[in-house]
Amino acid sequence: MKKQCTCWLGLILLLSLTVLAFSGEAGPDVKAVSVSEKVYQISGLSGAGNVAFLVAGQGVLVVDSGASPADGLIIVNKIRSVTDRPIRYVVLTHSHGDHVFGLQSFPPGTLIIA
């Protein structure tokens, strides 16, 4: 019984650490850098991937959403610091967590292209 309890506690601890790893906060140096007149790159997020966005006439197209809901919120706020145009689209390059886990922080009605 003691061995089984220890196994369960170990499993719970392992799962807790996994969740913490994916909810890591972005560093203080998250920046939206202008790549061209209408294209920006956001780097310094908690995940391995970078995010880009295009400010167009009718709204914003974002490429990838970050590694966590916190990253997604940072991305939305960085976009808001550049433009007040609505975020219309998020294009996901692939299904890895560091590119998709931030989706839930984007505004309702945003079209997801995957």
| Pairing mode, strands 31-34 and 39-43 | antiparallel
16-45 pLDDT tens trace: 444 444 444 555 688 899 999 999 999 888
* pLDDT at residue 75, as a whole number: 96
* pLDDT at residue 4, as a whole number: 59
67-100 pLDDT tens trace: 999 999 999 999 999 999 999 999 999 998 888 9
* pLDDT at residue 45, as a whole number: 87
Name which CATH class applies to 24-113.
Answer: alpha beta
Separation in Å, CA 14 to CA 7, 9, 21, 24? 10, 9, 11, 16
Domain extents in the chain? 24-113
* pLDDT at residue 23, as a whole number: 45
